[in-house]
Amino acid sequence: MLSQNELHDFLDEKAFLYESPWFIDEDPVQIPHLFSKKEDIEIAGFLTATIAWGKRSLILKSCRTLMERMDYSPGDFVINASVVETEKFNGFVYRTFNGIDLVYFMKALQAIYRNHDGLHGVFFEGYTKGGIFEALANFREVFMGFNAPVRTGKHVASVMKNASAKRLNMFLRWMVRQSSPVDFGLWTNISESDLLVPLDLHVARVARSLGLLERKQNDFKAVKELTSKLSDLRPNDPVFYDYALFGLGIYEKF
């Protein structure tokens, strides 16, 4: 087992290796990097994060299909699309996320951008009430509040039910972390120090092997435990080490 200092140095080395421009070319984060406007980045990032599970090549293929159907202008499409225009997503399928879910996502995003100051506004409203946990809880409550189909609920994590919210936390990492060649740093009124680790299978496995995570389930309690351990190493930006843990798992099969 590595000492605390050795672990710190090891994770720093790996995080700096993987938080690099080349990482974008192999990761779903490349999709929001196609854009420069805030709303385009947010919406492309959110939709990409929503279906970011499984093989990365298949995620990217489906995300590019989505962007094509929105004429590579996701912000304008979401805000201005008619019901008829959003219905063209009915044939979309990516694993268990299908056209029914996507049509609702478009409806909810449109309402959020027209009436709730966008995705940033919804997350920040919750954040001011109780940090990232409340940001995630408030987002789900608002997002699912436009007569959502029952089936769609499984695609928006509920931290109130102890879900790890991996994809939402990844989206927040993209939006919040600054001075990064990968993340965007658009939402400057949410602190990097408050972010939570996006706990996927690779990150969880590597964290346990390094003694950073004891909990067996990959749930919200595990997210808090791991983030707390990483905060001891880098209090102002614990999620920096997401790159190390993910990279070790996906590239080095650690």
The pLDDT of residue 241:
98
Q: Reply yes or no on whether the pLDDT at 1 is more than 80.
A: no
Predicted confidence at residue 187, as pLDDT, reads 98
* pLDDT tens digits, 154-204: 999 999 999 999 999 999 999 999 999 999 999 999 999 999 999 999 999
> Which residues, 6+ apart, have CB-to-CB distance to 160 below 8 Å?
137, 140
Residue 233: band (very low, low, confident or very high) from pLDDT cuts 50, 70, 90: very high
CB neighbour list of residue 49: distance below 8 Å, 6 or more residues apart: 28, 167, 168, 170, 171, 174
pLDDT in tens, 23-59: 999 999 999 999 999 999 999 999 999 999 989 999 9
pLDDT digits (tens, 9 = 90+) for 64-108: 999 999 999 999 999 999 989 988 888 899 999 999 999 999 999
CB atoms within 10 A of CB 114: 12
Residue 207 · residue 236 · CB < 8 Å: no
Spatial contact of 200 and 157, defined as CB atoms under 8 Å apart = no
Cα 104 to the center of its chain, rounded Å: 19
Residue 179 tokens, joined = 């001075």
Spatial contact of 195 and 239, defined as CB atoms under 8 Å apart: yes
Query: What's the pLDDT score for residue 88?
Result: 83
pLDDT of residue 74: 97
Q: Which pTM was predicted?
A: 0.96
For 106-163, the pLDDT digits (tens) are 999 999 999 999 999 999 999 999 999 999 999 999 999 999 999 999 999 999 999 9
Spatial contact of 84 and 107, defined as CB atoms under 8 Å apart: no
| Contacts of 54 by beta carbon, 8 Å cutoff, 6+ apart | 95
The residues spanned by each domain of the chain are: 4-250
The pLDDT value given to residue 34:
98
pLDDT at 253: 86
Nearest-angstrom CA–CA distance, 94 and 97: 5
pLDDT at 64: 96
- In one-letter notation, the amino acid at residue 7 is L
- From the centroid of its chain, how far is CA 67? 18
What single string gives the DSSP state of each residue in the chain? ---HHHHHHHHHHHHHHHSSHHHHTTSGGGTGGG--SHHHHHHHHHHHHHT--S-HHHHHHHHHHHHHHTTT-HHHHHHH--HHHHHGGGG-EETTEEHHHHHHHHHHHHHHHHHSSHHHHHHHHHHHHHHHHHHHHHHHHHHTTTT--GGGGGGS--GGGT---HHHHHHHHHHH--S-SSS----TTS-GGG------HHHHHHHHHTTS---SS-SHHHHHHHHHHHHHH-TT-GGGGHHHHHHHHHTS--
Determine the pLDDT at residue 2: 84
